[in-house]
Structure 1
Amino acid sequence: MLQFRRTIFDQNEDAVMWKQDNQPPPLPLQQQGNVLMKQYDKFIPVYLEICPERLYKRLSPNQLVYCTLDKCRLRKFTFYDQVLPHHKYGIALQQRDQQETFLIDSADEFRKWFLLFKRYCVLDKFKQKFKVLNKSKLEDPLFGQCYYNCIHSNNYKLVKIIDKANITNYQLQCLGKEISSLRKLSSPLIIFFNELYEDDTNIYIVYNHYQGLDMRSWLKENSQNLEERLVAQIMFNLLTAISHMHSRGVFHRDIKLDSILIQSQLPSVLLTNFCYSETYIPQTPFKKCGTPGFIAPEIFKTKLYTPKADMFSLGCLFYVLYFGKIPFSGSSQEEILSRNEAAVVDYQIQKQLCRKVSSSGINLLKALLISDPEQRLSAQQALQHHWFIKMGTKQQAKFHKNIIKGKSLSTIIENSVDITHSMQCQIPSSTFIEDKVDKEFTADNLKDRLQKFNSIQLKPSKHRHQYYQ
């Protein structure tokens, strides 16, 4: 029979593969229908429903059991039996020592089921299917330069390759949350997760292929003042991405310049770096998390914060795009955190920098940087702001949407591509640092990041503004 191995993401010792659930499957429900399932030595008809990371089996109209797919390894196989001559397509799931086998009679139905299972389960044989071309310039907040450009069936992919021998429990936990979050999302403005592979040495996370600079690097290389209309287009795209993300119950928790990837040229942007993301459940405490200078003030006060924290971080990024500096600067990390917590924002800087911005733009900026999360705009509310109408952004967004349509799940089962060499990836030591004020905060080297802004020459300002002394 098929050989499986336990996945590194299965840390739970619960030996039960199917669990009881009296609630209806959560939306979005992506596929449902009748298949045959093996029970002892025969196949019986069952009704299955699949949604992100869960497979539901309906035992009766009011009784459901579910299986968590993210802990399952997946295989497909061909099947022939004279008793079932039309059921030629098989899918096998295994969680530890338990296995479920399903048969499907239609090639089209099999493709639909298998492509969803591929996105939610753990796959094998990465090296037989992908050819690694070269290392990407993109960096991961936890694992450094671990991205590689790969090819699979003549399609380019971006793959994060992680050495299992060097991964810490904290990194594994963050990686699991990132994958879980991205499996729920399908926006062309958010990095698209395809599938997850694992072998004895590495974890391979496959994304659509992207190339370009993150926003911080772009600002460093392009010392120019962004036109307000372009800022409006960038903000509209980011709000659209965040609105989709929040509607699926995911919040990012670390929106900043490094988390925005510029595709080809502005305003084509992509939200990335979901390693600190969480699935939001009301009244659930979350650890304090964020990058100093971009943290929502309520995070300093309570662990019961909400996705509105993302909106404050986006407001800080908005401030940078407008004025070329973070709203809460200081000579030390402690000073920056102190000003960040107080959340007193200087909106008069536009006069000092001779920066002309519209009153409606400042109105939206203030609505995002409100200290009270209850009064702060949600992403959906911000998308309706009159600034976007004034800037003509909504009309531009319709045109832009037609150009950057995201790739959905493929409709063709991908062919294997041989790889001629094994791939090993050395993971550097953790790249995040613990803040002295609260060890739950994680951040990059703040001083280095702020110093990179020194190269930005604001125009038509007559003086150079120093971002870090």
Structure 2
Amino acid sequence: MSESLKRNYCVGEELGRGRFGTVFKCYSPATGESFAVKSIDKRLIADDAIDRQCLYNEAKIMHLLSPNPYVVRVFDIYEDDTHLDMVLELCNSGDLFQRLSSQPVFSESEAVDVMVSLMKAIAHCHRLGVAHRDIKPDNILFTDSNELKLADFGSAECFHEGQLMSGVVGTPYYVAPEVLAGRNYSEKIDIWSAGVILYIMLAGVPPFFGDSATEIFEAVLRANLRFPSRIFHSVSPAAKDLLRRMLSKDVSRRFSAEQVLRHPWMTSNGEIRTVAPF
């Protein structure tokens, strides 16, 4: 951890650990405010140009996206010869993966609450020319006041309008079929991943599954979307319509983030819901 960070923040307990970095809780002695600090050991990626590029991309992209109420905010970045440290907004109330583990099925109103905030985050990224490329429940965090924050931009990539991206990124269950097929792809891979999350919230199971990564990928490539009656008997037609539009294998027919936000299921579900400007 860089000495310049330690001069400005007091570092506390470890909150999590990843492949190259560790997240700690920290606070500012000057203000008493608490933060998270993601400390990345650059020595672990010294010989890997791709990992090194991802490291610097994440810092650059988080600066570009901040501040936004639906994206984890970056406050400070410190770097020395061995470490890159990012001081981030503290999200102390777990992630969506943990919530799905304790409550496998969400009501439609609960799912709408998650999806509106998530899609506002994704729409903000896409408007600024950023594709997240690894939308999954683990990367959807919550603050103490239950505000949703999209996190972890280590796989993100900047794009220009109409420009396609390449490279296999993402996580089994959530990765879009065009990525697995080895084709160039657009930012709409994020819409597919968000659609998988919506399906899981409403059904308690993923839409495309298998007993191994290979079987999962084969199911995703087939993209045979089904709504078993024993699971979806109480799910509204509007919710299923949105899922079809988010989980369309035909990318030209797949919704954009703005189209998802304007869908009737997102704007009214048992009551009139107004999607606030973003």
Q: TM-score, normalised by structure 2?
A: 0.89
Structure 1 residue identity aligned to 2:24:
Y
Change (3 A) 1:209 1:265: closer
Whole-Å separation in 1 of the counterparts to 2:51 and 2:171:
17
Q: Distance in 2 between matches of 1:241 and 1:321?
A: 18
Partner of 2:122: 242
1:380 aligns with 2:258: yes
Amino acid aligned to 2:4: K
2:62 counterpart (170, 179, 182):
182
Q: Does 1:126 align with 2:2?
A: no
| Residue identity (%) | 29
Deviation at 1:134, TM superposition (A): 1.3
Q: Which of the pair has more CA radius of gyration?
A: 1
Contact 2:261 2:267 in 1 (8 A): no
Equivalent position to 1:148, from 24, 44, 47? 24
Cα displacement (A) at 1:306: 0.4
Bigger helix fraction: 2
Specify which of 204, 207, 214 is matched with residue 88 of structure 2.
Answer: 207
- 1:217 is matched with which residue? 98
**Offset at residue 129 of structure 1 (A):** 1.1
Structure 2 partner of 1:27: none
Residues 195 and 243 in structure 2, CA contact (< 8 A), matched pair in contact too? yes
Residue of structure 2 in register with 1:280 after alignment: 159
Contact 1:288 1:303 in 2 (8 A): no
How many angstroms apart in 1 are the aligned matches of 2:272 and 2:201? 16
* Partner Cα separation in structure 2 for residue 326 and residue 253 of structure 1: 18
User: Does the C-alpha gap of structure 1 residues 393 and 286 become closer, same or farther in structure 2, counting only changes over 3 Å?
Assistant: farther
Counterpart of 2:150 in structure 1 is 271
Offset at residue 309 of structure 1 (A): 0.9
Q: Matches of residues 53-72 of structure 1 in structure 2 within 5 Å? A: none
The CA distance in 2 between the partners of 1:310 and 1:373, in whole Å, is: 11
Q: Which residue is equivalent to 1:356?
A: 234
Q: Secondary structure at the match of 1:125?
A: helix
Q: Which SS does the other structure have where 1:195 is aligned?
A: strand
CA distance in 2 between partners of 1:181 and 1:225 (Å) = 33
Q: Shift of residue 388 of structure 1?
A: 2.3
| C-alpha distance in 2 between matches for 1:210 and 1:236 | 19
Q: Compute the displacement of 1:389 (Å).
A: 2.9
Residue 308 of structure 1 corresponds to 188
What is the deviation of 1:263?
2.7
Structure 2 residue 40 is the aligned partner of structure 1 residue 162? yes
How big is the shift at 1:365? 0.9
Following superposition of structure 1 onto structure 2, how do residues 307-346 of structure 1 map, counting pairs within 5 Å? 307-346=187-226
Residues 354 and 184 (structure 1 numbering): CA distance in 2 closer, same or farther, change over 3 Å? closer
- Kindly provide the CA deviation profile for residues 419-445 of structure 1, in whole angstroms up to 9, marking residues without a partner as x: xxxxxxxxxxxxxxxxxxxxxxxxxxx
Deviates more, 1:165-174 or 1:234-243: 165-174
Q: Aligned partners of 2:145 and 2:231: how far apart in 1?
A: 26
DSSP 3-state at the match of 1:234: helix
In the alignment, what sits opposite 1:394?
A: 273
The answer as to whether partners of 1:260 and 1:269 remain within 8 angstroms in 2 is: yes
Q: Is the 8 A contact 1:191 1:270 kept in 2?
A: yes
Instruction: Measure, in 2, the Cα distance between the counterparts of 1:291 and 1:297.
Output: 12
**Rounded Cα–Cα distance in structure 1 between residues aligned with 2:207 and 2:232:** 17
Specify whether residues 166 and 388 from structure 1 end up closer, same or farther in structure 2 by C-alpha distance, changes over 3 A only: closer
- What are the equivalent positions in structure 2 for 1:83-122 lying under 5 Å apart? none
Judged with a 3 Å threshold, the aligned counterparts in structure 2 of structure 1 residues 284 and 375 are, in CA distance, closer, same or farther, namely closer
Residue 383 of structure 1 and its aligned partner are, at CA, apart by 0.7
The structure 1 segments of at least 4 consecutive aligned residues displaced by more than 6 Å after TM superposition are none
TM-score by length of 1: 0.54
RMSD of equivalent CA atoms = 2.2
Compare the two structures and name the one with the higher strand fraction: 1
Measured at CA, do residues 224 and 298 of structure 1 come closer, stay the same or move farther in structure 2, by a change above 3 Å? closer
Contact 1:232 1:393 (C-alpha < 8 Å) held by counterparts? no
- Displacement of 1:285 after TM fit? 4.0
| Counterpart code for 2:69 | P
Q: Are the equivalent residues in 1 in contact too, given 2:172–2:213 (CA < 8 A)? A: yes
Measured after TM superposition, the shift of residue 238 of structure 1 is 0.7
Structure 1, unaligned runs of 5 or more: 1-122, 402-469
Distance 2:173 2:70 in 1: 24
For 1:317, the aligned partner's letter is I
Q: Whole-Å Cα distance in 2 between the matches of residues 318 and 139 of structure 1?
A: 27
SS at match of 1:394: coil
Q: Structure 1 residue 365 and structure 2 residue 243: aligned?
A: yes
Q: In structure 2, the residue corresponding to 1:194 is in which secondary structure?
A: strand
Cα distance per residue 1:240-269 (max 9 Å; x no partner): 111111000000111111111133476x32
Where does the alignment leave 5 or more consecutive residues of structure 2 unmatched?
A: none
Counting matched residue pairs gives 270
Whether 1:258 and 2:138 are equivalent positions in the alignment is yes
Rounded Cα–Cα distance in structure 1 between residues aligned with 2:233 and 2:39: 44
Question: Contact 2:104/2:201 (CA < 8 Å) preserved in 1?
Answer: no
